[in-house]
C-alpha cells in the first residue's frame, strides 16, 4: 500500500475504467506500467501501427489479457473499453482523438495536443460536435511541491515577475531530435503550462529567440530565451536548453516568483523557499505526474466535472509555444497571442475537412469565443457512470 491517501478517489478493482492505450513507444510503456498498478483504470487494449512493437511491449511488461491491434475503434469494440489514452506522436494526436471521440470514447491525450494552435482549435470544435471529454495530460502540473508553491504564490499579492530556467541533457532519439523546435514544442510546453497553473495569469504577448549550440545533437533549435507579457502586466522570463552538459535543472525547471509581499522559489524537486512575512505552506500528498493526470481524468469523467486541461483550456499553453516559435522566426519581434489565436481560427476553418467540425468552427464569433464555449463537465452531468455523453 502506498503512503498516498487513496480514500477519496480510488475504485474497487472491478470498477476500474477499462482503457485502450494508443502508442507503444517509450512513453506508452510508462503509461502501461503506471496503469498496471492504478486503482482508477485498467489497460484492456494496446494499439500501435507497429503491431510487433505493441506485442513485445505487452510481453516485456508481463501484462496479461491485453488485446493488441492497429485500430483504436476495433480494439475498443473488441474489449469493451470505455476510454482511450493517446500516447502517439504529436502529429497523430488529432486523428486518433477524432477516431475515439466519434466512436463515443472519451480521451486523455499526451501533450502536446497538436503541432499547431489551428489543429488544437479543430479539436475543441470536434469535442463540441461529439460531446465527448477530451483532456490533455500535462503531467508536470501534478507535483505535490508545485501545488504547495502555487498556494504560496497565491499569497504573495500582485506579481512583478516569474522566472523559470530549464537546462537539461536530453538524449531521446526519434521525433524530438528531428523537429525544428525540440525545446519549445516538446519540452517548454510543460513549463509554459505550469506558468498558467501557478499564477492563473494569462500570457498576452511574447518575444523569443532560439538557437542551436554547436555541439547539439538536435537538428532543430535546442536552446531558447523568451519573455512573456501577462494580463496582469507582470513578466514571465524563461530560458532553457536540452543539450546542457553541466548544472542541470529539474525536468520541471527552476522557478522564482517576485511579488508585492515577497518572493518564493521552487527548485522543481522537493525544495521550496519562501521569503515573505507570514506566508507558510503545507505539501499535500496526492498522486503525481501521469498518475495524477489519470486520476483527474477518471474522477472528472465519473463526476461529470471539468478536469484541468480539458481541451479548450490547453489552447492557451499551445499558443505560448507557437507564439514563441513565431517570434523566433521574426528575430525576436513581439507576437500578440490574441492575434495568433484569431489567425489560427482562420487556418483551422481552411484546413478542416469534416463538414460538422467546419460548421462548428465557423459558428464561433472568434477563437476566444470558441475556447470559452462551455466545456465538457460544466453542465450538470447526465451520465455519472463514466461513459461518453
**In terms of CB distance, is 87 or 222 closer to ligand NAD?**
87
CB of 291 to ligand NAD, least distance (A): 12
CB of 7 to ligand NAD, least distance (A): 27
**In terms of CB distance, is 72 or 335 closer to ligand NAD?**
72
Return d(Cα 331, Cα 296) in angstroms, integer.
39
CB of 311 to ligand NAD, least distance (A): 15
Return d(Cα 351, Cα 355) in angstroms, integer.
11
Judge whether 293 and 108 are in contact, CB under 8 Å: yes
Lookup: cell for 329: 522566426
CB of 23 to ligand NAD, least distance (A): 4
Lookup: cell for 97: 482523438
Judge whether 136 and 114 are in contact, CB under 8 Å: no
Return d(Cα 343, Cα 257) in angstroms, integer.
32
Q: Which residue is nearest to ligand NAD (CB)?
A: 25
CB of 248 to ligand NAD, least distance (A): 16
**In terms of CB distance, is 23 or 304 closer to ligand NAD?**
23
Instruction: Report the Cα–Cα distance between both ends of the chain, in Å, rounded.
Output: 34
Return d(Cα 327, Cα 214) in angstroms, integer.
22
CB of 279 to ligand NAD, least distance (A): 30
**In terms of CB distance, is 56 or 339 closer to ligand NAD?**
56
Is the sign of the CA dihedral 325, 327, 332, 337 positive or negative?
A: negative
**In terms of CB distance, is 254 or 336 closer to ligand NAD?**
254
Contact residues toward ligand NAD (CB under 6 A) are: 22-28, 47-50, 53, 87-90, 92, 95-96, 110-111, 139, 174-175, 186
Task: Give the Å distances, CA to CA, from 139 to 42, 187, 222.
Answer: 19, 12, 22
Amino acid at each position: 500500500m502506498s503512503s498516498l491517501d487513496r480514500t477519496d478517489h480510488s475504485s474497487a478493482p472491478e470498477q476500474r475504467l477499462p482503457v485502450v492505450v494508443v502508442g507503444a513507444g517509450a512513453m506508452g510503456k510508462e503509461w502501461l506500467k503506471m496503469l498496471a498498478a492504478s486503482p482508477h483504470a485498467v489497460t484492456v487494449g494496446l494499439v500501435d501501427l507497429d503491431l510487433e512493437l505493441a506485442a513485445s511491449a505487452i510481453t516485456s511488461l508481463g501484462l496479461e489479457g491485453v488485446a493488441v491491434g492497429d485500430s483504436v475503434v476495433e480494439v475498443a469494440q473488441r474489449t469493451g473499453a470505455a476510454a482511450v489514452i493517446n500516447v502517439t506522436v504529436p502529429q497523430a494526436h488529432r486523428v486518433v482523438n477524432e477516431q475515439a471521440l466519434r466512436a463515443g470514447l472519451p480521451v486523455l491525450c499526451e501533450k502536446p495536443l497538436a503541432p499547431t494552435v489551428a489543429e488544437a482549435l479543430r479539436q475543441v470544435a470536434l469535442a463540441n460536435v461529439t460531446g465527448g471529454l477530451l483532456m490533455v495530460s500535462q503531467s508536470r502540473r501534478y507535483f505535490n511541491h508545485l501545488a504547495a508553491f502555487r498556494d504560496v504564490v497565491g499569497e504573495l499579492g500582485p506579481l512583478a515577475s516569474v522566472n523559470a530556467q530549464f537546462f537539461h541533457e536530453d538524449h531521446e532519439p526519434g521525433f524530438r531530435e528531428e523537429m525544428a523546435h525540440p525545446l519549445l514544442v516538446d519540452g517548454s510546453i510543460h513549463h509554459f503550462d505550469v506558468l498558467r497553473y501557478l499564477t492563473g495569469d494569462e500570457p498576452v504577448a511574447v518575444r523569443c529567440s532560439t538557437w542551436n549550440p554547436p555541439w547539439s545533437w538536435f537538428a532543430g533549435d535546442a536552446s531558447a530565451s523568451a519573455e512573456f507579457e501577462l494580463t496582469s502586466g507582470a513578466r514571465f522570463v524563461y530560458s532553457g536548453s536540452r543539450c546542457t552538459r553541466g548544472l542541470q535543472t529539474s525536468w520541471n525547471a527552476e522557478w522564482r516568483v517576485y511579488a508585492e509581499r515577497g518572493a518564493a522559489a521552487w527548485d522543481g524537486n522537493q525544495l521550496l523557499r519562501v521569503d515573505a512575512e507570514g506566508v507558510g505552506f503545507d505539501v499535500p500528498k496526492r498522486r503525481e505526474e501521469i498518475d495524477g493526470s489519470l486520476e483527474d481524468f477518471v474522477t472528472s469523467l465519473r463526476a461529470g466535472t471539468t478536469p484541468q486541461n480539458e481541451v479548450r483550456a490547453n489552447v492557451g499553453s499551445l499558443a505560448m509555444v507557437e507564439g514563441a516559435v513565431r517570434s523566433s522566426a521574426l528575430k525576436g519581434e513581439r507576437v500578440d497571442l490574441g492575434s495568433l489565436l484569431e489567425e489560427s481560427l482562420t487556418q483551422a476553418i481552411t484546413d478542416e475537412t469534416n463538414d460538422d467540425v467546419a460548421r462548428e468552427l465557423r459558428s464561433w464569433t472568434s477563437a476566444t469565443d470558441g475556447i470559452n464555449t462551455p466545456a465538457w463537465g460544466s453542465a450538470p452531468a447526465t451520465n455519472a457512470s463514466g461513459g461518453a455523453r
